[in-house]
A and B are shown apart, each in its own frame.
Chain A
């Protein structure tokens, strides 16, 4: 049974470079907006519009962006909780949910998700030990073994099984419930954990506890994380690489130090300087951006950020910029005409 083998498989391709654990190409999802007399499709919410990225083994990819930018939809598409319109998702080298590829059930064993709302993602009528043991039982583990594994996991996430195993979700605090959710996600011994705003609802003192726990679990269990959050500080703390999303598209992607140190996209820079300064004697004096993010139903033409960008020019209004390498660090790319020589933007590099 597949479940018995833990995630120790580290196959490497011939050239010695570890193959990415997850490869996503051209992922796209439009949600129809219907209306009118015959309830026809009148528009689309372009929730995720052609995004491409990779996640290497044992790394943490942070995804940041404002509400409505498609970061949670991306997570749900990866888990196939929503069916993508187009896009090629490969997990551990195999295409997912296509004939001859990795079956969905197998992919979902190896890729698990933790949600923001710790209460609604637990069954209120089950003691937490049964919630954690449920997945392994479905995947073929004997009842007693599944329970033993659940108790071991409770221990691992810092909840004493003798005290907590029989409790119901409402008997736990928010931080404890989120620990249970993490244990539940780990019960199938996955390779990849998608954490969708997993610490956002927690109080600061508890958030720090859960972040420390995640860092520990990652190294103990050789996990790979996709960490989705709107909190730039938390993403900087936990991520190896960061993907910045704006209105369903990738604005910038790169190693965490490159993104936070030498951001190339004006949106990333604005997002970073929107953070409170944490120094009452050097407060933010000007808002880096005006207005709210536009509606993803009718996103702006060309570069989607041009309506709020101080550097926007004619070319930005017409031509969508492609993701292109920027800066000195390998793997750092941004979708901005200013980053591409000869793009027609007056501030383009080398112009």
Chain B
């Protein structure tokens, strides 16, 4: 199951843990409307790690938050279908949402210092969640909190339960936040760049921890990142986002070895690695589009070396290649048609 790139799931249909169809999110204020997410479809199977890869402003974090309806109520307009563990999130009442958040679905954030409450100890914060959702006694909650800290490999866990967030290092804080997220055995874990703020030697520790916890607990994980290297370490599948759309999805091996969409190709080329010393880096010219004024066509066309007049006029087709591979580009459509014809 955790071998990257296995796509046997397609033959035995498992009911997906998360199913999103045509998700759209607009942020509306008096003077402007930002189209953050523009028609996103994806599914997440139980026990699967799906990485949403994208640059700032691509809509990856907004997509993640939409799954828990964690967006500002009055400014964010959400449409489309979001089904998590069989239930329609868009139709949920505030009460049902509270059960969902931290229960079925839990989230970890980039900056643990702002996600943890500075005036309560770790123990208090973790037991609060457990008591709230599972209605157990304080003693039982304390026992489970200790177990959780041990699960995330926090040394001298007992002592750490009485510690305040500021007394911990960045890596320990991130572990504590993971412990809190796991406290009610969620079936879906949402991770929003959880390792971006960490040092290299700590980042790899947290990635390996998340990987082993995900396998132990069989969770589905949606992992948002801008870092291709991080995605390569943890993902089963990758979905690449650009200007609020998923432009390419596929198994981690396929996407990293053989990217189909020109944006994914550009992103891979622009990712600096050691072998490039002395060479000129491939770049993607220009910068991402303004999400206030999005045309009908392909949002990447203005930066794309292969753009055709057709790209500007109509939304690019979602071309499926095999069971688990999709790219939204006219070029891919052409080569797929040629492959089928020849």
Contacts and interface: CB of A to CB of B under 8 A. Distances in A.
Contacts of A209: 283, 285
Interface string A204-223: 11111101100100000000
B335 to A, nearest CB: 23
Nearest to A211: B281
Nearest to B254: A280
B277 A274 contact: no
Given A203-B55, A205-B267, A289 B201 contact: yes
B199 A208 contact: no
B177 to A, nearest CB: 15
B232 A283 contact: yes
B281 A208 contact: yes
Interface in B82-141: none
Contacts of B272: 207-208, 211, 231, 233-234, 237
B157 interface: no
A275 interface: yes
Given A204-B55, A287-B205, A276 B227 contact: yes
Contact of B235 (A174, A270, A280, A287): A280
B203 interface: yes
Interface residues of A toward B: which range?
A: 35 or more
Nearest to B277: A237
Interface string B190-209: 00000000011111110110
Contacts of A270: 201
B199 A292 contact: yes
Nearest to A279: B232
A67 B202 CA distance: 11
A273 B241 CA distance: 29
Interface of A is mostly: loop
A66 B200 CA distance: 7
A213 to B, nearest CB: 10
Interface string B202-236: 11110110000000000000000011111011010
Nearest to A212: B281
A298 interface: no
Interface of A: 66-67, 173-176, 203-209, 211-212, 215, 230-234, 236-237, 256, 260, 270-271, 274-281, 283-293
27 contacts: A66-B199, A66-B202, A67-B199, A176-B287, A203-B55, A204-B270, A205-B55, A208-B284, A212-B281, A230-B200, A231-B272, A256-B277, A274-B204, A276-B232, A276-B233, A277-B233, A278-B232, A278-B273, A281-B4, A283-B232, A287-B201, A288-B201, A291-B155, A292-B170, A292-B171, A293-B169, A293-B199
Closest 4 CB pairs of A and B: A276-B229, A292-B169, A208-B270, A66-B199
Interface of B: 4-5, 55-56, 155, 169-172, 199-205, 207-208, 226-230, 232-233, 235, 252-253, 256, 266-267, 269-274, 276-277, 280-285, 287-288
